[in-house]
Amino acid sequence: MKSLPLACLVFALAVPTMAAEPISPRFNADPSPHVFDGKVYVYATNDQDNSGKYWDSTDWRLFSSPDLKTWTDEGSFLSVTVFKWAKPDAKAWAPEAAFRNGKYYFYAPVGGDKIGVAVSDAPKGPFVDARTDALVDKARDANAGAEPIDPAVLIDDDGQAYLMFGTRVPKIVKLKSNMIETDGPILDIQVNGFPADDAKKKYGEAPYLHKRDGVYYFTFSTGWPGQIVYATATSPLGPYTYRGVVLDYLDISTNHQAIIDFGGQSWLFYHDSLLDGGGSYKRSITFAPLSYGEHGTIVEVKK
Ligand code: FUB
């Protein structure tokens, strides 16, 4: 075998390739992966049962895995009807979950204008509405933005919890320690340093926040279609500085990611069109190893 130049070898080792295997033969999207009790749970949008013309399913699905190799379909664990204030046909979009106070909290965009929160004693539920109204409501809350969807929660090391959400303008608000009430105003998240020569590099949707070595990593999709890019800050509230691409455009209209550590490795979860009959409304969740380079850079995940 002809030997590769050292630079090529380093590059090949640094850029992980993706398995790109769907975690389920059902269509699903918008992964919200979490490690609860040593097991990976992925809360998801249900693309199997939408009309195929829009993201109009009305329930959420759950998948679990002890090892990221075998997956169990835990089924449809919650419908929008759990929220009595929601219209029964309100669309159920990208969800989020969190664990605190011995309880599991499920954050759910309902109908595109509200975010509800449900609570359970177990990751699989049963979940009940934790309030009698929405946690975030476009009509009620100042600065909730045009479309309060795509919730993402980070509980910081000091115990302060943050909820991010929103399309086109990313939003952040503190949560009280009960995880079911906001605490203070909804703020816009500022991202500086987008490359001036790429007008497509801007915030679109799918905010996600994780922390590594004291640095806050804000990942998001740039739009429709979107790249997954990242920005970093020294405070969860920002301001953030654009750093680069995590995952390039896909052949579908949306891109939506989350990052977890499991088994001594970081993983990027996202959705793509991976099954026969797939497309922008019939997506599939998959995952790939994610690695960091020098100075905390995220190494772009290549398909
Ligand atoms: O699944 C419906 C919407 O598509 C999500 O809320 C967005 O993040 C996009 O993935």
CB 154 within 8 A of CB 187: no
Tokens 């998801």 — which residue?
44
Let me know if residue 302 belongs to a domain.
Answer: no
Nearest CA to ligand 1 atom 5: 94
Q: What average pLDDT does the chain have?
A: 94
Let me know if residue 224 belongs to a domain.
Answer: yes
Residue ranges making up the domain that contains 282: 6-296
pLDDT digits (tens, 9 = 90+) for 75-85: 999 999 999 99
Check pLDDT > 50 for residue 62: yes
Tally Cβ neighbours within 10 Å of residue 234.
Answer: 11
**Taking Cα atoms as reference points, which of 73, 78, 61, 57 lies closest to residue 23?**
73
pLDDT score recorded for residue 15: 43
Let me know if residue 19 belongs to a domain.
Answer: yes
Nearest CA to ligand 1 atom 3: 93
Let me know if residue 303 belongs to a domain.
Answer: no
User: What is the domain count for the chain?
Assistant: 1
Residue 50 confidence class, pLDDT cut points 50, 70, 90: very high
Residue 19 confidence class, pLDDT cut points 50, 70, 90: low
Let me know if residue 104 belongs to a domain.
Answer: yes
Q: Which residues contact 281 (CB under 8 A, 6 or more apart)?
A: 47, 50, 51, 52, 53, 54, 55
- HSE-CB at 80 with a 13 A cutoff on CA atoms is 23
CATH number at residue 59: 2.115.10.20
User: Cα–Cα distance between 180 and 120 in angstroms, integer?
Assistant: 12
pLDDT score recorded for residue 101: 93
pLDDT digits (tens, 9 = 90+) for 269-292: 999 999 999 999 999 999 999 999
Let me know if residue 81 belongs to a domain.
Answer: yes
User: Cα–Cα distance between 31 and 161 in angstroms, integer?
Assistant: 20
Let me know if residue 1 belongs to a domain.
Answer: no
- Residue 95 C-alpha to ligand 1 middle, in angstroms? 9
This prediction has a pTM of 0.94
Let me know if residue 301 belongs to a domain.
Answer: no
Nearest CA to ligand 1 atom 4: 254
